[in-house]
Structure 1
Amino acid sequence: MTLLTFRFAPSPNGELHLGHAYSALLNQGLAMHAGGRLLLRVEDIDTTRCTPAFEAGMLADLKWLGLAWQEPVRRQSEHFAEYRVVLERLIREELVYPAFMSRGEIRAFIADTQTRGRDWPRDPDGVPLYPPADKALPMKERNRRIAENAPFAWRLDVGAAMKRLGGDLVWAEFNDETLSATHSVVASPQDWGDVIVARRDIPTSYHLAVVMDDALQCVSHVVRGRDLFSATGVQRLLQDLLGLPQPAYFHHRLILGPDGRKLSKSLRDTGLATLRDAGASPDDIRHMVGL
């Protein structure tokens, strides 16, 4: 019988908050109920914002909550060589291309288009899609810019990727926290345009690393926040392109702040360490997140 595997995968770029507590405790509870295992993954490919101090604080918070995971912890920053191998495969298969436009150039391109009466498409997060200009660059020009150390990112040619696969992409989404039944969701990776899969100096991105890690760690159940629901379409596309197994997904409810928005580390919402220092107990945290 295959051992069911769950994972909690935070980024050490700030303090964990109640939303992280809910996701971590939910994953642990589901893993225990299923007789499976829980893994901890440190998603630290952003080597500028992710720090050892934040990681130490994160681990302390999780242990205080009572989270127990199977060792070893996988740190993405220790596996860049593995990601690079897969990136080079995508380059050889001409499924990615170097994208050179800066944020300012993107804004100018879109503004010029909109002055001519055309609305520019946006992704599910409201960010304008990347313009198609770089995709049409001749190989000689691409190589010249790279040789001259022009900044760039590797973007997935979603149109070419979808054409390569043919047919609909779907994933199995659990209906609720009991994980007793699923329904099929049709993936729409094209909604995100040509997403970044790697940068010049970091041979991966969130999307590429997460599908590789889930496969390498034999993750069977991905339980994470509803804010990542639409992004699953991009990850399903990468899984099929790379011949990786597909876990089943459950995108759980979000813990919201008093103003109704989801909690965020970047906005410095109250962290677990602050709540602990104020006298809160792990049981208090469970009550606060509805567990």
Structure 2
Amino acid sequence: MPPPVFRFAPSPNGYLHLGHAYSALLNADLARAVGGRLLLRIEDIDASRCRPDYEQAIYEDLAWLGISWEPQVRRQSDHLDLYRDAVEQLAARGLIYPAFESRADIARLVAAKDADAPWPRDPDGAPLYPGAGKRLSAAEQARAQASGAPYALRLYIEAARQIAGELDWCELGEGPGGEAGIVAARPLDWGDVIIARKETPTSYHLSVVIDDALQGVTEVVRGADLFWATSVHRLLQALLGLPAPRYRHHGLIRDSDGRKLSKSTAATGLRELRADGVTPEQIRRMVGLPAAS
């Protein structure tokens, strides 16, 4: 029987912090405990924010932590054609449509609707897409796209759910509400999610399921903030005929105000801690992991 395959998949849009260290070390520890393989993937589809120096820093920080991975790091920006092909597959089944509203447009639409009753929101707290994109005719969609206007390609979530049927996943960790074991997927909670954009032929949701399948990943170990996103991932796996790995969502490392550590909030980076004399063993203690064996 082939060994389990784990992966750590950071984005090079900032320096790694303690939250990344916890996830990377946990993946490495679990892989070592079961004689599994550990892969490294660079999720760099956002060309506007990802930088080569951040990618190099990822390699340096992981090596400093004592983490080793198999060669041939997968870089998503090298595989955009694969994601385009998947979008075309979904479009050929009538499951994709272009939506032309900006984030500001959507915010105004939701604010107007919130005046009557609270508008539904997805598990991350963002409002479900309320726009008119799905009501445009094929000719109107084509004209708008030909005009050069920016757009997002969204999934007809209800139609996709009808095709895929009931879905679930094997959860080896614990969800926000204590969910574990076999968890029922709830893709409708996300509304018509974005699958790609005009300038980027994929999204996190799409590329992650394709990459996990192509790399033979069997164990996805990641933060609990992505727990319910697994519903979307299971839906895309079913639509594209991809295998479903086992999932283990772990708790998040939070700051003194209880917020999860984030690059956007300038969480202290591992390179800063290293410069201050913190050791890899101290990092393990800081994130609540036992000493390295």
Class of the TM-score when normalised by the shorter of the 2 chains: over 0.9
SS at structure 2 position matched to 1:71: coil
Q: Distance in 1 between matches of 2:225 and 2:33?
A: 25
CA deviation map 1:205-229 (0-9, x unaligned): 0000000000000000000001110
Counterpart of 1:4 in structure 2 is 4
Cα distance, 1:49 vs. partner?
A: 0.5
| Map 1:127-206 → 2, pairs under 5 A | 127-166=126-165, 168-175=166-173, 183-206=181-204
Q: How much does 1:108 deviate?
A: 2.3
Q: Supply the distance in 2 between the matched residues of 1:175 and 1:289 (Cα, whole angstroms).
A: 17
Rounded to whole Å, the distance in 1 between the matches of 2:29 and 2:185 is 28
- 2:88 aligned counterpart, secondary structure: helix
Task: Show CA shifts across 1:55-106 (max 9, x none).
Answer: 1111111111011000100000110011111111111111111011112221
Using the TM superposition, give the Cα deviation of residue 38 of structure 1 relative to its aligned residue in structure 2, in angstroms. 0.0
Which position in structure 2 is the counterpart of 1:251? 249
- 1:113 paired with 2:113, answer yes
Q: What count of residue pairs does the alignment treat as equivalent?
A: 284
Q: Which runs of 4+ in 1 moved over 3 A?
A: none
| Residue aligning to 1:58 | 58
Aligned-pair CA distance for 1:187: 0.7
Give the Cα separation in 1 of the matches to 2:281 and 2:173: 27
Aligned to 1:45: 45
Q: State the Cα distance separating 1:46 from its structure 2 match.
A: 0.4
- Matched residue, 1:14: 14
| Cα distance in 1, alignment partners of residues 76 and 236 from structure 2 | 18
Partner amino acid for 1:200? K
Equivalence for 2:236: 238
Measured in 2, the distance between the counterparts of 1:126 and 1:191 equals 11
Q: Which amino acid aligns with 1:78?
A: D
Select which of 204, 208, 211 maps to 2:209.
211
Distance in 2 (alpha carbons) for counterparts of 1:48 and 1:262: 24
SS in 1 for 2:195: strand
CA separation in 2, counterparts of 1:95 and 1:195? Answer: 11
> C-alpha distance in 2, partners of 1:153/1:217?
27
SS in 2 for 1:146: helix
What is the aligned partner in structure 2 of residue 77 from structure 1?
Answer: 77
1:30 matched to which residue of 2? 30
* 3-state secondary structure, aligned to 2:39: strand
CA distance in structure 1 between the partners assigned to 2:237 and 2:184 by the alignment: 14
TM-score normalised by L of structure 1: 0.95
Amino acid at match of 1:163: Q
Residue 94 of structure 1 aligns with an amino acid whose one-letter code is G
Superposed CA RMSD: 1.1
Gaps of 5+ in 2: 175-179
Distance 2:171 2:273 in 1: 33
Q: What is aligned with 2:177?
A: none
- Deviation of 1:113 (Å): 2.0
Q: Percent identity?
A: 57
Matched to 1:112, the amino acid is: A
- The amino acid of 1:103's aligned partner reads R
Alpha-carbon distance in structure 2 between the residues aligned to 1:85 and 1:130: 25
Cα deviation 1:226-249 (Å, max 9, x = unaligned): 111011100000000001000000
Structure 2 residue aligned with 1:179: none
Residues 173, 250 of structure 2: 8 Å contact kept: no
Give the aligned partner of residue 223 of structure 1. 221
Distance across 2 between alignment mates of 1:289 and 1:110: 39
Is the partner of 1:72 in helix, strand or coil?
Answer: coil
Aligned AA (2:74):
R
Letter in 2 for 1:259: D
How far residue 132 of structure 1 moved from its aligned partner, in angstroms, is: 4.4
Q: Which amino acid aligns with 1:245?
A: P
Q: TM-score, normalised by structure 2?
A: 0.95
Shift of 1:192: 1.0
Secondary structure, counterpart of 1:107 in structure 2 = helix
For residue 27 of structure 1, give the secondary structure of its aligned residue in structure 2. Answer: helix
- Residue pair 2:106, 2:131 contacting (<8 A) in 1 also: no
**Structure 1 spans left out of the alignment, 5+ residues:** 177-181
